[in-house]
Structure 1
């Protein structure tokens, strides 16, 4: 997130809302400190303060907070922080059977602020490790959240890098993913694709001319072949 805590220069807002917006990162920092210390009630209160400050600034209730309110390029750091706030809240509420509905709601928000963003792989792995450690009380809810990230996401990272996010090939591959993800092997393929995509793209970007050549000679033709096959599914 940008170190500038001042709200964007837009329409005039009540001073209380503007001040809360400016102070939101302090609340977030305190929430993390309480979480590490194991003081979950105070952590929940501070995370809620952070999210309410954002929601109030945009004129909505906290449950209506959406990535659409943010500049997904300039404010990507804030989007990541929001996703992690909802993640910690979902785990906190999961501790109490009476709050499982609230835990699920926060998980849904976590997914909403995860899918399609550059940090999707990081969040997916964080969720997967949590599930593997069997720390959740409502395990099904966390497993469903992981499935939503893998199934519902429109991300097709290598194709988007190679052809562009709205190219016909990229859209064909999105449809291909939707066609295979309901099968066990297909789901595993999509999972591996998401897990390896960031490293592949990072390699291509850092390889200069070699990366451009590899993309043109091997990756683009391979993706084109798969997309043509997908049209017949």
Structure 2
């Protein structure tokens, strides 16, 4: 008969197995952390290749790794989980990934996917606002709104307004039907001419008072009328810059 003292008890065996599993899980976690940047880059490459589903999976895997590492709650990652100086590269990467995901989900039609789009747009705002690259984030939005590809203009415009620091005004409403330089020309005219004189500042003040109502009317207008207004605004902006 085998000596029972030589046979490990069930409790000891269980403890050894649990420790082994924990070590394996910890090694897997560390390996995922080491690979997270590569996973994110794979997502970028897949998105550029037009492989939407595969890129979304890679992006979400990267975000999930960070959420687990940072012990993020139900609201997910925020800037409070990072050091804004030491982790700047990761913050830039995350901002770009949230931007890519927002654009990918902009093509969606069902309610759950639209909810995802809004979540990623808000995360893009959170990970861009107050950062050194905020102007670049706003510019990316402006170009996308003006590209004609944006399906949910109201949602993207709201984030653009928050990032650019501009109030809701006509040129922003017509971004998708105006020349890419029109908004910049009108801003330059406002800042370099109107705001330098008392009458000009009063005009800007009353313009911003009236603009929300005008914007609501424009947003509800037929696309043909919006295009006509866009052409008028393009010509007006060109004339103002020349004179």
TM bucket by the smaller chain? 0.5 to 0.7
Please report how far the alpha carbon of residue 150 of structure 1 lies from its aligned counterpart in structure 2 after TM superposition: 2.6
Please state if 1:28 is matched with 2:40: yes
Q: 1:149 aligns with which of 163, 167, 177?
A: 163
Q: 2:129 aligned with 1:115, yes or no?
A: yes
Change in 2 beyond 3 A, CA 1:132/1:90:
same
User: Is the Cα contact below 8 Å between 1:86 and 1:107 reproduced in 2?
Assistant: yes
Within a 5 Å distance, the mapping from 1:88-103 to structure 2 comes to: 88-98=100-110, 99-103=113-117
Corresponding residue SS for 1:23: helix
TM-score (norm 1): 0.59
The corresponding residue for 1:38 is 50
Matches within 5 A, 1:193-232: none
**Which structure 2 residue ranges, 5 or more long, are not aligned?**
1-24, 173-182, 192-243
Counterparts of 1:58-137 in structure 2 under 5 Å? 58-61=70-73, 63-98=75-110, 99-137=113-151
d(CA) in 2 for partners of 1:62, 1:38: 30
Unaligned runs of 5+ in 1: 1-12, 152-180, 197-233
Give distance in 2, aligned partners of 1:38 and 1:183: 33
* Cα distance in 2 for residues equivalent to 1:22 and 1:62: 24
- Written as runs of structure 1 = structure 2, the 5 A alignment for 1:149-188 is 149-151=163-165, 182=167, 184=169
Q: How far apart in 1 are the matches of 2:101 and 2:38?
A: 17
| Per-residue deviation, 1:28 | 0.7
Distance apart, 1:35 and its partner CA? 0.6
Q: Deviations over 1:39-85 (max 9, x none)?
A: 00000000111111111101125742011111101111110100000
TM-score computed with the length of structure 2 as normaliser? 0.57
Q: CA deviation at 1:91?
A: 0.8
Post-superposition offset of 1:184: 4.2
User: Within 2, Cα distance between the matches of 1:72 and 1:132?
Assistant: 31
Q: Distance in 1 between matches of 2:129 and 2:68?
A: 24
Tell me the distance in 2 between the aligned counterparts of 1:115 and 1:20. 28
Name the CA shift for 1:149/1:82 in 2 (closer, same or farther; >3 Å): same
Contact 1:100–1:138 (Cα < 8 Å) also in 2: no
Q: Does the alignment pair 1:17 with 2:42?
A: no
User: Match for residue 211 of structure 1?
Assistant: none
2:66 aligned with 1:57:
no
Matching residue of 1:164? none
CA apart distance, 1:134: 2.0
- Greater C-alpha Rg: 2
Question: Structure 2 CA distance, aligned partners of 1:101 and 1:183?
Answer: 23
Distance 1:183 1:111, change over 3 A: closer
Aligned counterparts of 2:77 and 2:154: Cα–Cα separation in 1: 24
Cα-Cα RMSD: 2.6
